[in-house]
């Protein structure tokens, strides 16, 4: 009898300790992450001093003073540090895909770039270690309509886990790039896949006008009678899906304006090395610019550079005009140079607040994800950077990166 | 009336002959295997003191006692017996015949015609203990064709096809991507396949005029033919899983070298993996990853891709798995019963159980000891190697 009772007590004790353990784990999981920061640059230009940033379930739940800290909660004290939102690369040329270009056809608006992404790629690692927590990726520039882009966090086990938003902006490429590789040397094989239009700028414009005119002619048809590709173009012509036009030299930007007058699409200028020549037009039509890079730009062949200083000061000129802009990197500069680009622009006269907005909130606004990313505000994703000083001083270094509420050490 | 009279004795004569034939045939075909240790791969586990009664090419009975019927006896005392291995992805005897490079969609081709019993590769495979193969189209086409499940045989008058249309072979593998024709990228491959499938609506006759009506893709969409998708890297396996989800299909992954990185999605979608063999030249972590998949409850079988790798790599892979802490019987199942289950032919091959085909391998020692040579291989109850009776 006594044995039985003892066993029962033992079992109950076991059960009790087990449930206590579970409760403890539950408590740990529910504990919010409390950061006490000396300076918080919230991303929209404002600066807060000595405030709490509270993160729960990967989201920011509180920003401000007067947070009552529970006694058992550990507070991360960044008293003399600077906390900023994670940087967003509004366009990234990263080597994270097995093949970035699908060259079978010129017009492939439905291609899903997510399938080619490898999360273990070196460039993703480099990105988050330099403070870039989100990137926009699109298929490469060798097609006229290479496809729609996708926005990814730079850390995660699978592409689906990193996904912020799929099918953002239909990309359109103006310039020489879509023609590259198409002019197959004569006398080889006339039936070769690459022996096709476009082979130069006017061929590119022909294909764009062909597709969009075709879509205009089908204006009366219902959605059910269109192919999936045509549905994308319909979204573009109705202004629901912005075109992201990759144009760098002045003549390509001019072409983009002319085509806009003809078809009435909404668009975003990507590249925009010669954007300083069209400041008034850009302002009048409210066209955002994804500019870059001013830093280490060695690509001199494609456009005529009459004044390097103008070109490098483009962010300053854009900010003066009030044109929304963000930074990108290109194939010759690494993704880690994004902050350096902003620092370079600050050196040339861009206000530091404007540079941070370009790196964070304006990039998110251009990408259409400012409800989730881009600033330190209640309800947004907890993507934070901790610097040991002013982020636009080249000497200050990045101490920690927070992505979706998880701390990572960039120097490890 | 007259013809009726005539037919009665004729019929009876026929019946008598048929009876004699059946009786004689039955007596001739039936024999008993005894003395050996039997790894059944089935529910009975390992039998140390049992005999197998084989009749008409099937395991008639597994006798676990001393009461043997009076039939010829083959004594394999001191030897071990395991079920014939099932190779769920093989190009045996037809490596160059299994690829039609004129198009990237060749879903009408069926592979059973390619099998050549006189090819030396068939002998090699049999000598390594493989008795059933799923002869698959190659990885170079986006949709390669329809695979067939065959019994290996060196007799060209006696080829038995277990299942003529088993899987539709689709490839997201790196081999499908080439710079001189579409697709030139993985995302493009997925896009092309989606476009093609969207164009072929089940039941519609829109491209009947074509020479190749893409019957394979049609039956895939109709749900009559499961897909078998070649995918190795993380991106390829991920694309495969997303594609299966998109079209609401149940498929099988071939290759799967990095499938362990996507265990949660594999488990959630219940996708089996036919894994490339673990070769001695590969790092040890490959075997660890394969064991990881099994520990997480994912159906995993090893395949040889023969002749890209040697047929003995199946036994080697099971051995490597055993060294990772998987039990011997579980490791043996990855080359016998599990591939048969994945192929959907587990009711006839894959294990030594009553009623199944009498495909088995007699070894000198333990099956996972690569030092123990194969003494005899039986397919459908008959010795399949030369020099055997």
A48-52, B99-103, B209-213: the lowest-pLDDT one? B209-213
> Does B18 reside within a domain?
no
Q: Which carries the bigger pLDDT value, residue A337 or residue A356?
A: A356
| pLDDT-based confidence at residue A11 (cuts at 50, 70, 90) | low
- Please report the pLDDT score of residue A208 as a whole number: 96
Residue B260, in any domain of the structure = yes
Q: Is residue B210 one of the residues assigned to a domain?
A: yes
Cross-chain residue pair A103–B184, CB shorter than 8 Å: yes
A115 CB near a chain B CB, below 8 Å?
yes
Task: Using pLDDT thresholds of 50, 70 and 90, give the confidence band for residue A234.
Answer: very high
Q: From B195, which residue of chain A is nearest by alpha-carbon distance?
A: A228
Across the range A86-103, mean pLDDT stands at 85
pLDDT band at residue B207 under the 50/70/90 scheme: low
Phi, psi (degrees; rounded to nearest 5) at B301? -135, 150
B294 backbone dihedrals φ, ψ, rounded to 5°:
-65, -40
The angle that helices B313-323 and B285-295 make with each other, rounded to 10 degrees, is 70
Mean per-residue pLDDT, B131-149: 95
Tell me, what's the pLDDT at A1? Answer: 47
Mutate to test the interface with A, among B185, B262, B263 (most CBs of A within 10 A): B185
Tokens of B12: 């009876």
Q: What is the reported pLDDT for A336?
A: 85
How confident is residue B8, by pLDDT bands cut at 50, 70 and 90?
Answer: low
pLDDT band at A19 (very low <50, low <70, confident <90, very high): low
CB contact under 8 A, A115 and B186: yes
CA A156/CA A124 separation, integer angstroms: 10
Between the alpha carbon of residue A357 and those of residues A227, A268, A386, the distances in Å are 39, 17, 17
Check whether A4 has a pLDDT greater than 60.
no
Angle at Cα B311 formed by Cα B309 and Cα B314, nearest 5°? 95
Q: What is the pLDDT of residue B181?
A: 86
Enumerate the residues of chain A whose CB falls inside 8 A of the CB of residue B233: 98, 118
- Give B67's pLDDT tier (boundaries 50, 70, 90): confident
Residue B371 distance to chain A (closest CA, Å): 40
Same-domain pairing of B136 and B176:
yes
The full length of chain A comes to 412
Average pLDDT over residues B334-347: 96
CB atoms A99 and B184 under 8 Å: yes
- Considering only the beta carbons, identify the residue of B182, B233, B262 that sits closest to A105: B182
Q: How far is CA A234 from CA A109, A126, A166, A241, A252, in A?
A: 12, 38, 18, 9, 23
**pLDDT greater than 70 at residue B94:** yes
CB-CB neighbors (< 8 A) of B173 in chain A: none
The verdict on B75 and B151 lying in the same domain is: no
Structural domains present in chain A: 31-86+375-412 (2.30.40.10), 87-373 (3.20.20.140)
In a domain, B20, yes or no: no
Average pLDDT over residues A66-93: 91
Residues B261 and B306 in one domain: yes
Range name among A122-131, A189-198, A250-259, B6-15 with the lowest pLDDT average: B6-15
Q: Which of B184, B195, B261 sits opposite A157 (nearest CB)?
A: B261
Question: Does the pLDDT at position B5 exceed 60?
Answer: no
191-220 of B, contacting A, C-beta below 8 A: 191-192, 194-195, 198
- Greater confidence, B168 or A3? B168
- Mean pLDDT on B125-154: 94
Q: How close B249 gets to chain A, by Cα (Å)?
A: 18
CATH at residue B125: 3.20.20.140
User: What is the band of A341 on the pLDDT scale with cuts at 50, 70, 90?
Assistant: confident
Residue of A nearest to B180 (CA): A193
Q: Do B356 and B342 share a structural domain? A: no
Q: How far apart are CA A217 and CA A77, in angstroms?
A: 62
pLDDT for B208 equals 53
Q: Do both B287 and B379 map to the same domain?
A: no
pLDDT at B202: 55
How many cross-chain Cβ pairs, A to B, lie less than 8 Å apart? 89
The mean pLDDT of B37-59, rounded to a whole number, is 93
pLDDT at residue B25 tops 50: no
Calculate how close chain A gets to B234, using CA atoms only, in Å.
Answer: 7
Instruction: Please give the pLDDT value at position A412.
Output: 85
Of B190, B261, B265, which has the smallest distance from its Cβ to A112's Cβ? Answer: B190
pLDDT of residue A192: 78
Residue A338 zone, left/alpha/beta (φ > 0; ψ -120 to 50; rest) = alpha
Mean pLDDT of A288-312: 62
pLDDT of residue A94: 78
Chain A: give the shortest CA distance to residue B227, in Å.
19
- On the question of pLDDT at A284 being above 60, the answer is yes
Assess A116–B contact: CB distance below 8 Å, yes or no: yes
Contact A139 B187 (CB under 8 A): yes
Q: How far is A262 from chain B (nearest CA, A)?
A: 30
Which residues in chain A are closer than 8 Å to B184, comparing Cβ atoms? Answer: 99, 101-104
- Extract the runs of DSSP E, i.e. beta strands, from B323-386: 360-363, 374-379, 382-383
Q: Which one has a higher pLDDT value, B11 or A387?
A: A387
Tell me the average pLDDT across A366-372: 95
Q: Which residues contact A63 (CB under 8 A, 6 or more apart)?
A: A40, A42, A48, A51, A52, A53, A54, A376, A377, A378
- The pLDDT, as a whole number, for residue B23 is 46
Q: If you ran DSSP here, which 8-state letter would residue B309 be given?
A: S
Phi, then psi, of B257 in degrees rounded to 5: -65, -30
Residue B334 maps to a domain? yes
CATH no. for residue B379?
Answer: 2.30.40.10
Q: Is A114 within 8 Å of chain B by CB? A: yes
- Nearest C-alpha of chain B: how many angstroms from A145? 13
Q: What backbone phi and psi angles, to 5 degrees, belong to A177?
A: -60, -45
Does one domain contain both B222 and B368? no
Mean pLDDT, to the nearest integer, of B362-369? 93
Structural domain that includes position B338: 85-349
In this prediction, residues A380-387 reach a mean pLDDT of: 95
Provide the pLDDT for residue B1: 43
Give yes or no: residues B161 and B224 share one domain: yes
Q: Mean of the pLDDT values across residues B327-352?
A: 95
Count the domains in chain B.
2
For residue B174, which residues of chain A lie inside 8 Å, CB to CB?
98
Q: Which residue of B has its CA nearest to A194?
A: B180
Categorize the per-residue pLDDT at A385 as very low, low, confident or very high, splitting at 50, 70 and 90: very high
- For the residues B65-79, what does the mean pLDDT come to? 87
- For residues B123 and B255, membership in a common domain is answered with yes
Whether B248 and B165 share a structural domain: yes
Q: Residues A172-194: pLDDT tens digits?
A: 999 888 988 787 666 667 777 87
pLDDT given for residue B218 in this prediction: 86
Per-residue model confidence as pLDDT tens digits over B237-295:
999 999 999 999 999 999 999 999 999 999 999 999 999 998 777 777 889 999 999 99
Decide if B186 and A99 are in contact by the 8 Å CB cutoff: yes
Most B CBs within 10 Å, among A95, A106, A115, A152, to test the B interface: A115
In a domain, B179, yes or no: yes
Task: Note whether B389 and B251 are same-domain residues.
Answer: no
Q: What is the pLDDT of residue B163?
A: 95
List the one residue out of B24, B186, B201, B213 whose CA is nearest residue B109: B213
- For residue B231, the cross-strand partners are B255
* In-domain check, residue B97: yes
- The shortest CB-CB distance from B177 to any of A99, A108, A228 is to A99
Quickly state the pLDDT bin for B215 (edges 50, 70, 90): confident
Calculate the CA dihedral of residues B76, B78, B84, B89 and round it to 10 degrees.
-150
Cα A100 to Cα A95, A97, A183, A398, B373: the distances in Å are 8, 6, 20, 30, 50
The pLDDT value recorded for residue A270 is 93
pLDDT at A24 > cutoff 50: no
In B, which residues are within 8 Å of A112 by CB distance? 187, 190-191
B305 and B384 together in one domain:
no
Q: How far apart, in Å, are the Cα atoms of B53 and each of A25, A404, B27, B377?
A: 58, 64, 12, 16
A215 near A234, Cβ under 8 Å?
Answer: yes
Nearest residue to A94 via CA among A38, A16, A50, A150 = A150
B79 in a structural domain: yes
* Arithmetic mean of pLDDT, B24-52: 84
- Quote the CA–CA distance of A392 and A84 in Å, as a whole number: 11
Q: Point out the residue among B195, B239, B261 whose CB comes nearest to the CB of A115.
A: B239
B359 and B332 share a domain? no
Chain A residues near residue B239 by CB distance under 8 angstroms: 115
In the predicted model, is pLDDT for residue A304 greater than 50? no
């Amino acid at each position: 009898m006594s044995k039985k009772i003892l066993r029962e007590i033992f079992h109950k004790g076991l059960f009790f300790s087990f449930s206590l353990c579970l409760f403890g784990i539950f408590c740990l999981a529910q504990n919010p992450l409390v950061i006490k920061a000396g300076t918080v640059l919230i991303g929209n230009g404002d600066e807060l001093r000595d405030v709490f940033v509270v993160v729960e379930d990967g989201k920011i739940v509180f920003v401000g003073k007067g947070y009552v800290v529970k006694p058992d909660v550990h507070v991360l004290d960044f008293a003399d540090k600077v906390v900023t939102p994670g940087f967003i690369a509004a366009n990234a040329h990263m080597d994270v895909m097995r093949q970035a270009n699908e060259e079978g056809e010129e017009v492939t608006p439905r291609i899903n770039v997510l399938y080619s992404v490898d999360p273990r790629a070196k460039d993703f690692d480099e990105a988050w270690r330099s403070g870039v927590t989100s990137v926009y990726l699109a298929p490469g520039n060798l097609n006229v309509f290479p496809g729609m882009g996708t926005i990814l966090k730079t850390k995660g086990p699978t592409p689906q886990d990193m996904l912020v938003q799929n099918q953002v902006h239909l990309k359109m490429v103006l310039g020489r790039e879509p023609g590259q590789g198409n002019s197959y040397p004569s006398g080889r094989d006339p039936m070769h896949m690459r022996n096709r239009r476009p082979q130069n700028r006017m061929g590119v414009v022909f294909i764009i006008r062909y597709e969009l005119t075709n879509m205009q002619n089908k204006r009366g048809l219902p959605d059910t009678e269109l192919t999936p590709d045509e549905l994308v173009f319909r979204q573009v012509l109705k202004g629901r899906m912005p075109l992201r036009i990759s144009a760098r030299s002045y003549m390509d930007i001019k072409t983009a304006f002319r085509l806009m007058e003809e078809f009435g699409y909404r668009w975003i200028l990507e590249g925009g090395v010669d954007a300083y020549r069209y400041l008034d037009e850009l302002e009048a039509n409210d066209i955002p610019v994804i500019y870059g890079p001013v830093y280490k730009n060695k690509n001199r062949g494609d456009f005529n550079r009459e004044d390097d200083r103008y070109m490098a000061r483009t962010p300053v000129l854009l900010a003066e005009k009030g044109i929304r802009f963000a930074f990108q990197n290109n194939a010759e500069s690494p993704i880690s140079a994004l902050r350096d680009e902003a620092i370079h622009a600050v050196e040339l006269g861009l206000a530091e607040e404007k540079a941070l907005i370009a790196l964070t909130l304006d990039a998110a606004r251009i990408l259409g994800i400012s409800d989730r990313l881009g600033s330190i505000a209640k309800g947004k994703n907890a993507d934070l950077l901790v610097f040991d000083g002013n982020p636009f001083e080249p000497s200050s270094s990045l101490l920690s990166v927070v992505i979706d509420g998880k701390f990572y050490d960039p120097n490890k | 009336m007259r013809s009726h009279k005539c037919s009665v004795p004729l019929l009876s004569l026929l019946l008598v002959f048929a009876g004699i034939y059946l009786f004689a045939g039955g007596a001739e075909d039936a024999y008993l295997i005894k003395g050996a240790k039997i790894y059944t791969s089935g529910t009975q586990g390992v039998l140390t003191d049992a005999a197998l009664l084989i009749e008409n090419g099937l395991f008639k009975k597994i006798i676990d006692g001393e009461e043997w019927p009076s039939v010829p006896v083959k004594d394999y005392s001191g030897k071990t017996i395991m079920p014939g291995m099932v190779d769920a992805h093989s190009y045996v005897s037809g490596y160059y015949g299994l690829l039609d490079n004129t198009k990237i969609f060749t879903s009408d081709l069926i592979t059973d015609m390619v099998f050549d019993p006189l090819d030396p590769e068939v002998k090699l495979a049999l000598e390594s203990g493989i008795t059933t193969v799923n002869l698959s189209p190659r990885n170079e086409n986006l949709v390669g064709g329809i695979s067939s499940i065959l019994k290996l045989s060196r007799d060209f008058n006696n080829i038995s096809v277990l299942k003529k249309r088993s899987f539709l072979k689709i490839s997201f593998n790196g081999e499908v991507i080439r710079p001189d024709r579409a697709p030139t990228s993985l995302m493009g491959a997925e896009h092309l396949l989606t476009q093609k499938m969207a164009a072929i609506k089940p039941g519609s006759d829109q491209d009947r005029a074509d020479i190749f009506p893409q019957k394979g893709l049609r039956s895939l969409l109709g749900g009559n033919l499961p897909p078998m998708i070649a995918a190795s890297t993380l991106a390829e396996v991920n694309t495969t899983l997303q594609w299966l989800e998109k079209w609401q299909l149940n498929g099988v992954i071939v290759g799967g070298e990095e499938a362990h990185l996507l265990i949660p999605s594999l488990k959630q979608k219940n996708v089996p993996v036919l894994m490339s063999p673990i070769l001695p030249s590969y790092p040890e972590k490959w075997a660890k990853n394969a064991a990881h998949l099994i520990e997480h409850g994912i159906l995993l079988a090893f395949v040889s891709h023969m002749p890209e790798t040697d047929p003995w790599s199946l036994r080697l892979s099971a051995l490597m798995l055993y060294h990772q802490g998987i039990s011997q019987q579980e490791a043996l199942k990855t080359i016998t019963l599990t591939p048969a289950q994945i192929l959907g032919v587990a009711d006839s091959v894959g294990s030594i159980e009553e009623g199944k085909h009498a495909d088995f391998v007699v070894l000198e020692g333990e099956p996972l000891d690569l030092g123990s040579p194969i003494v005899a291989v039986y397919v459908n109850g008959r010795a399949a190697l030369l020099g055997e009776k």
